[in-house]
Amino acid sequence: MENAMTGTTLRWGLASVLVSGLLLVIGAGPVAGEQPLMRDLELEALREAVRWPDPDVITVIALTGRFVAARQDQEGLAYFEERAKSVPGRPLFVALEGFFQARVADDVFLLRRVAWVNDAVAKLDRAVAQEAGLPRYFRGLVLAELPARFGKAAAAVDDLQWVLDNKDRFPVGLRRSVYRGLAKAYTTLGREAEANAALARSGYPSLDPTLPVFTTDNWVTAKDGFRFRPPRLVELAPRVYVAQGYDFADIAFVVTDDGIVAIDAGTTEANARAALAALRRITAGPITHVLVTHAHWDHIGGLPALRGASTKVVANARFADELKIVNDTGVGFRYFFGATPRAGTSWRRIAW
């Protein structure tokens, strides 16, 4: 599987979307008596897909996410127990059996609980011995959540740090749960400074077990609005830069001999200005053109921050008509904007 993981870097982006509901925290267990309001057809389809010969690892992880998001840990345990017996050559199935077994430990009679957890860890150990990769990631998460009396916190740190040391083999979104697991393990070890640093990297305010830990880089807060990932400026090709995570949408910059061509402008002036500041560490050239791909709020709100005295704004010939439709329709998802002031920068203020 390690070779397969190395060759599927781009497809892991899709996997992060598919498993955006994957809560990889043992404390976030099922609610007693909670029943679904309707059939989960996607879960049912994934259950069937993973029964096919040699299912793709992305499909397996997507199913894991659906089990956890639906609070069906017992069902997940039964499913992967059967899969591990039916396909003994697939260590990931054994790891997931151990993962779900650990998640339901609170449902086990108290006098049997320690043996139950030790058996779950033993399954994870067997899976890791056959194949590192994802089995070691899942083992690290399980070990991190165990009480101090199990003496597994240091081993959890080793596993999760190994994931970070081999981060190119894993989807980026898994790092959130890795850092949260490290914060929990460091807390158990009494290493407060390291725990606080790891928790800050996870993006979560505390180790409250009821908080979901997602496998994507997405987040939404009243302050930031919705973001797909932490801010970064990526050079996708020579002199072609994309500012990601500064806004709901990306803002691209193409550096030419005459200046900078910007592509789209984000939601607010403040966000566009922050993206431009990142580019200014590379070039101080003027923005000669702004190409506006369409009139949606997340592509035009920050336009004033990018326009200079001689900047040319280029858009489709029907842009004004499209803008009128956007302005007249309004936006239902205002929480996506965040708390950044938009006075004077709203798409409603943009004339064409």
CATH code for the structural domain at 2-217: 1.25.40.10
Query: Which is more confidently placed, 205 or 52?
Result: 52
Q: Is the pLDDT of residue 105 over 90?
A: yes
Q: Give 105-151 as a DSSP string.
A: GGGS-HHHHHHHHHHHHHHHHHHHHH--HHHHHHHHHHHHHS-GGG-
Predicted confidence (pLDDT) at residue 342 exceeds the cutoff of 70: no
| pLDDT 10s digits, 14-56 | 344 344 334 444 444 444 445 556 678 888 999 999 999 999 8
For residue 217, what pLDDT band results from cuts at 50, 70 and 90? low
Sorted by where each begins, the domain ranges of the chain are 2-217, 221-349
pLDDT value at 168 more than 50: yes
Instruction: Extract the runs of DSSP E, i.e. beta strands, from the chain.
Output: 219-221, 225-227, 232-237, 240-244, 251-255, 260-263, 287-291, 312-314
* Correct CATH for 221-349 of 3.60.15.10, 3.10.310.40, 3.40.50.10680, 2.60.120.260: 3.60.15.10
> Looking at the DSSP assignment, which residues form a beta bridge with residue 241?
235, 253
Look at residue 212 in the predicted model and tell me its pLDDT.
66
Taking only the tens place, the pLDDT of each residue in 244-266 is 989 888 999 999 999 999 999 99
pTM as predicted: 0.62
Question: What are the C-alpha distances in Å from 43 to residues 16, 85, 96, 220?
Answer: 16, 21, 16, 25
Question: Is 70 exceeded by the pLDDT of residue 318?
Answer: yes
Rounded (10°) CA dihedral 330, 336, 340, 342: -10
Residue 247 phi, psi (nearest 5): -155, 175
